[in-house]
Structure 1
Amino acid sequence: MADIMDLARLWADHDALHVHGVAVSLLTEGPRPEVEHDEDGAVIRLRAGTTGATLLRLDVPLGDAVGYWHPAAGWDRHLVADWASRWRAVGLVDSAPLGCLYDAAGAALLAFSSDRVAATTRMRFGVAEPSARFGVWLAMDLLPGEHCRIRVQAPGRPFADAVRTLTRRLSAGDELPLPDAARTPAYSSWYSLHRDVDAARVEAEAALAAEAGCGVLLLDDGWQRHADGAGYSGSGDWSPDPAKFPDFAAHVRTVQGLGLRYLAWIAPLLLGERTEAYQAMKDFAPHAVPRLSCRVLDPRHAEARRFVVESCVDLVRRYGLDGLKIDFLDFAMVYADESVHAEEGGGRAGTDIGLAMRGLLTELRDRLRELRGDELLIEFRQPYTGPGMLSFGNLLRAGDCPADATGNRVRTLDIGVAATAGAVHSDMLMWDPGASVRAAARQLHSALYATPQISVRLAEQSAEHRAMTTFWLGFWRDHRDVLTRGEIRAGRPDQLYGTVVASSAQRAVITFYAEHRLAALDLERFTEVALVNSTAVDHVTLDIGGRAVEVGLDSSDACGRPAGSSVRTLAPGPHTIPVPPSGLCVLRPVPPKHSSR
């Protein structure tokens, strides 16, 4: 469909509905959309047309638009031209039908979502040069009698508020329970050890991770048989390598005895030729991925779904795992453009890959909860961290960005904007063991507004790096609720969230990720304000509101060592506050002095 939709047709005049300044145009044959208004905006009820796909356009004048955000935006947060845009299939395991056009003040101009979070929707967006309008197109293969609801948010609210309101409306009410372990710093073996794992090495790292304050260990790729081959040619059998883990169950118990929950990595949709499973399952994995030396199981086949579920459940049950890190689920989208007819006996789950994945994940979740109940831990990573996935996973991790502090910050905050449940996790944090402690600390700062995952060789850390890691993990634990459940103000997405403010009750944390940024703060509201300087300069700038307040300032360096204390009166207006590079300064109001008689 995407190839035949030229711009003339996409921008064709139609009898548009006007909803909060948004023109809503049905571009294909079908019943006229119905609109219901409420206190937050409006719902557009769209019913299936008589033939083919249903195509809807939402468009607004550009006005002061500066950027467009959606869950899979990555670095592309600019205003793309309509002719340079492309169609993208989104669904349960790849992004979500959700987006927000915003202005220079960060306020929403066009914020929308669709309740079609499982089945595939094809989306496109862009700026029209002749009309100076921004359009979003949604194409859906609605079945006869089927309908979907598109919510349009009233404009003017801050971008993040508008998106959170939309995603709350998408909540199905059956989110996977969130045990406290999901909100505990974790250790991952991937960047630190890659596939060079064995029981002794992992147990040694686990002991150090527990000492540093971690509560979860994630054993990544390399634990399984045939893991030494090219790409994922050994994926499919999912049994421990006996040379590395001669008694995997005993090893898991040892790590759990250190106080850590244990999750193992699995990529259950990938099928490699070097496995015993290949011959039995290759007919259900028609798509090959040469660069990864494997095939992708098609979950529309009942046989493929059964194989995936049994592989995951058996792994947890047999070895006493607390959960799984489930990888590459987005690869199922290679089948999104295929039209598959249902076979007799229910062999395939119909035409839509998202619905097939929903069936697979529902069965997997239910089976695993029979084993682990409300303490079950399941990690998903971008791009399959959208609202529809909250029923199946509770650790929502940023996509891979090794040693990229900016990428980690942007990815975690993006997930947090759209997540109404679960715990947002950073990508695994790694740094050069020979780097300065200030540079290493900035990696931890990138994960402050998520749950941090550490992935460095702790046994080889210098004493200074170990002190830094322990200090910042301790700071995170002490401020966890402020950082991950407080009110977050992060600014505009196209400015990559250069200054982030989190507040809850009478505590606040402000992190400066770029030099020469200013953060507005009313000190009268708080009994403690922590200023994190994730830059190479030795100060930050606050713009004080309200009345003058006398505060005590206590500074620490990147390792948490005291770096000076003072008392200042901060009157309304801008103030330069000395904070060591990669360090911390905590502000607390000085109690008024009382005279005695």
Structure 2
Amino acid sequence: MSVTTAGLVPAPTEPLLDSVRLAVLPESATWELRDGVLEIHCAEAAEIRLSVPLGDAVGFWHPDAWWNRTIVADWAGLAHVSLVRGAAAGCLYDSSGASMLAFAALDPVPEVTMRYGVSEESKTFVVHLHVPARRSPYRIALAPQAPSVAAAMRALRRAPEERPVPEGARVPVYSTWYGFSQDVAHEPVEAEARLAAELGCGALILDDGWQELGNGRGYAGVGDWRPDLAKFPDLAGHVARVQGMGLKYLIWVAPLLLGPQAECFEALSPLAPLPSGVPGARVLDPRLPEVRRHVVDLCVRLVRDYGPDGLKLDFLDQATLYGDGAGAAMHDLLTELAAELGPEALIEFRQPYVAPGTPLGNMLRADDCPADAVANRVRTVDIALRAAGGAVHGDMLMWDPAGSTRSAARQLIGTLHAVPQISARIGELPQAHRRMVAFWLERWRELRPLLLDGELEPGRPDELYPVVRAERGDECVITVTADRVVPLDGRFRKITVVNGTASGRLVVEVAGEGFAVRRVHDAEGSRIDPSATQIPAGLGILNVPASGMAVLEGNP
């Protein structure tokens, strides 16, 4: 591979939407305009080259970007994506946040190498997609220029990707992971479940540690997936008791992992020739039909024998170690598993395998970021920019129980625009923290139609989304996590403003006739008297306690 894209074999380019140009090797592409979106169809194996003048470009977002959101050089920008790792999608944007080049693959299955960045020689931004040979043409869509990254990516969603989301995927969750780690057992988990239900959770995830040899934070013992009888002497009975509290129940499993201490290791090890990136375990090769059958049978057995409402499927991205064909194999595996479990099964997938087109997953969770509210905000918004067919979930929430209530509340505010997963030991929290959790979960349920189903506008990805707005009809929710001027649009009848900063005031800019301050709450939910009952048009100050919220109504 050449050091820069300028060293590649030249290819003639064609003008596409706006100032975007296309080159395809071999020259066998067709395209059509559908509802303003340009669809490109390429031959079985292809190199797709997109380019656009640099102009005022300041950042490039793609699902595997993590913290690197600037316009890197083309010798530095590289991503390997497939069905269970990221996605062939991205958006170049300018200093106003408007899109300059927005694209997304309509076929997420094959292993694609994405090379991107600034071409120093041509003074352009380029994206090169290397697509392997396959039976049918590869399809990719380009959106016209839009006022924001979010608007551009919304235009690239396709209705066939969307699937009904079970109600159980859209309720707050209690997860055992950060609260218990692997030290789980039926009695303490049931005690926490009861408290979680009282605080407003609707589901519980039993994470790692329920299974035999599930101790020590390593994975040398995984593979048999039988309950540790010292911890759960009657797992089915335990599940039923928790469900009787009004909670859905999910069990964690990593079905592709195989540890040398497992009883089944000798029989299955020929199907797992490669060590995984997970300590102590190998990874089963999903390209083998017997592996796919084993995984499906395992997951079906867990649901049948113990009665959970679904599964938390972990480490599916380890399949990418097997390279070409792993994406297609995982698509076959997950499609078969979806047919076996049915549409109401709750299935959690975790970044990076949350791309549209992935069968089965309906709870799409941010990657692990314990106690990091910033990462939780950024990752949940990133998922939401492309999500279709699933509810976006934040990573499990943990915090210092000896810390301030305001600090703890910031963890919930960081995941407010997604489904929150609580993972603190509720029974050990001070009463102030419990009141805080109950308050924010109640507000979240009230605002859920906007937070999960509204139109999301988070701003520029390189700024890490300091002002996030979700709107639906004449209402909106605005979450503020940095000292920025917060626009309050007069077209909204009702605005909920959440102060995720450490300050007790927000600078606002009101368009329209102004707003009346109807309610102000602190971090624990206590109602306080507002310092001013009206906010007139123009620049002004809205006094809201740190980690608190205010409800505004438009003046008639």
Which band: TM-score by shorter chain?
A: over 0.9
Match in the other structure for 1:579: 544
* Deviation by residue 1:153-173 (Cα, 9 ceiling, x = unmatched): 11234211111211x23x535
**Residues 408, 585 of structure 1: alpha-carbon distance in 2 compared, 3 angstrom cutoff:** same
Amino acid at match of 2:527: P
1:523 is aligned to 490
| 1:172 and 2:160 are equivalent in the alignment | yes
Q: Which amino acid aligns with 2:415?
A: A
Q: Deviations over 1:25-48 (max 9, x none)?
A: 12x3x3432222344132222113
1:129-164, CA deviations, whole angstroms, 9 ceiling, x for partnerless residues? Answer: 122211101101124x63112212112342111112
Offset, 1:566:
5.4
Look up the match of 2:330: 357
Alpha-carbon separation, structure 2, partners of 1:117 and 1:437: 42
Task: Establish whether residue 158 from structure 1 lines up as the match of residue 148 from structure 2.
Answer: yes
The 1:397–1:587 alpha-carbon spacing in structure 2 relative to 1, beyond 3 Å, is: same
**Normalised by the size of structure 1, how large is the TM-score?**
0.90
Partner of 1:495: 463
CA contact (8 A) 1:164 1:419 kept: no
**Cα 1:589–1:566, aligned 2, differ >3 Å: closer, same or farther?**
farther
Contact 1:425 1:453 in 2 (8 A): yes
1:80 maps to which of 55, 72, 77:
72
Aligned: 1:512 with 2:480: yes
Paired residue type of 1:97:
A
Q: Does 1:449 align with 2:424?
A: no
CA deviations on 1:22-73 (whole Å, 9 max, x unpaired) are: 12112x3x3432222344132222113xxxx521211111101110011111
Aligned mates of 2:113, 2:40 — CA distance in 1 = 18
Deviates more, 1:68-77 or 1:110-119: 110-119
TM-score, normalised by the number of residues in structure 2: 0.97
Q: Distance in 1 between matches of 2:520 and 2:119?
A: 51
Aligned to 1:148: 138
Residue 101 of structure 1 and its aligned partner are, at CA, apart by 0.5
The CA deviation at 1:115 is: 2.0
Instruction: Work out whether residues 474 and 491 of structure 2, in 8 Å CA contact, stay in contact via their aligned partners in 1.
Output: no
1:75-96 Cα shifts (integer Å, max 9, x gaps)? 110111112233x321111111
Give secondary structure in 2 for the equivalent of 1:238: coil
Contact 1:252 1:319 (8 Å CA) reproduced: yes
Residue 386 of structure 2 is aligned with which of 418, 434, 443? 418
Quote the residue 1:344 is aligned against. Answer: none
Equivalent in the alignment of 1:61: 53
Deviations 1:486-514 (A, max 9, x none): 12221100000001112222322111101
Q: Which residue of 2 aligns with 1:41?
A: 37
Distance 1:548 1:317 in 2: 57
2:354–2:383 contact (8 Å) kept in structure 1: yes
Question: Using the alignment, how far apart are the partners of 1:197 and 1:335 within structure 2?
Answer: 33
Matching residue of 1:595 = none
Unpaired runs of 5+ residues, structure 1, are: 338-351, 592-597
- Cα distance in 2 for partners of 1:79, 1:272 equals 41
| Alpha-carbon distance in structure 2 between the residues aligned to 1:256 and 1:230 | 28
* 1:266 aligns to 2:253 (yes or no): yes
Q: Which residue of 2 aligns with 1:203?
A: 190
Residue aligning to 2:13:
16
- Measure, in 1, the Cα distance between the counterparts of 2:93 and 2:555: 40
| 3-state DSSP of counterpart to 1:408 | helix
1:10-409 pair list within 5 angstroms? 11-20=8-17, 21-26=19-24, 28=25, 30-48=26-44, 53-86=45-78, 88-143=79-134, 146-166=136-156, 168-169=157-158, 171-173=159-161, 175-229=162-216, 231-289=218-276, 292-337=279-324, 352-369=325-342, 374-389=343-358, 391-409=359-377
3-state secondary structure, aligned to 2:528:
strand
Question: d(CA) in 2 for partners of 1:568 and 1:229?
Answer: 56
CA distance in 2: counterparts of 1:437 and 1:307, whole angstroms:
47
Query: AA paired with 1:377?
Result: L
Q: In structure 1, the residue corresponding to 2:108 is in which secondary structure? A: coil
Structure 1 SS opposite 2:60: strand
Q: What SS is found at the alignment partner of 1:195?
A: coil
Q: Is the 8 A contact 2:4 2:119 kept in 1?
A: no
SS at the partner of 1:317?
A: helix
In 2, Cα distance between the equivalents of 1:545 and 1:68? 31
Instruction: Give the structure 2 partner of residue 436 of structure 1.
Output: 404
**Alignment-derived partner of residue 465 in structure 1:** 433
1:564–1:228 distance in 2 versus 1, CA, 3 Å: same
Task: Give RMSD over aligned pairs.
Answer: 1.7
1:379-412 C-alpha deviation (Å, 9 max, x unpaired) = 00100000111x3111000000000000000000
Q: Which residue of 1 aligns with 2:511?
A: 545
Change (3 A) 1:574 1:277: same
* C-alpha deviation, 1:105, in angstroms: 1.1
- CA contact 1:263–1:322 (8 Å) conserved in 2: yes
Partner Cα separation in structure 2 for residue 18 and residue 398 of structure 1: 37
Structure 2 counterpart of 1:40, one-letter code: G
1:176 CA drift (Å): 4.5
Q: Secondary structure at the match of 1:399?
A: coil
Letter of the 1:25 counterpart: A
Question: Is the 1:89–1:123 contact (alpha carbons within 8 Å) kept by the matching residues of 2?
Answer: yes
Q: CA deviation at 1:229?
A: 4.7
2:540 alignment partner AA = H
SS at match of 1:477: helix
Say which is worse superposed, 308-317 or 14-23, in terms of deviation. Answer: 14-23
Mapped to 1, the partners of 2:307 and 2:549 lie a distance apart of 41
Residues 177 and 375 of structure 1 are in contact (CA less than 8 Å); yes or no, is this contact kept in structure 2?
A: no
CA distance in 1, matches of 2:274, 2:38: 41
**Which stretch of the first structure deviates more once superposed, 32-41 or 466-475?**
32-41
Pairs aligned (count): 555
Once the two structures are TM-superposed, the CA of residue 8 in structure 1 deviates from its matched residue by: 5.4
For 1:8 and 1:44, locate their aligned partners in 2 and report how far apart those are by CA, in whole Å: 21
In structure 1, how many angstroms separate the alpha carbons of the residues matched to 2:216 and 2:506?
49
One-letter amino acid of the counterpart of residue 177, structure 1: P
CA–CA distance in 2 between the matches of 1:524 and 1:37?
33
Contact 1:552 / 1:589 at 8 angstroms: preserved in 2? no
**Runs of 5+ in structure 2 lacking a partner?**
none
Distance 2:110 2:367 in 1: 23
Aligned-partner SS, 1:588: strand
Please tell me the residue identity of whatever aligns with 1:329.
L
Q: CA deviation at 1:230?
A: 5.6
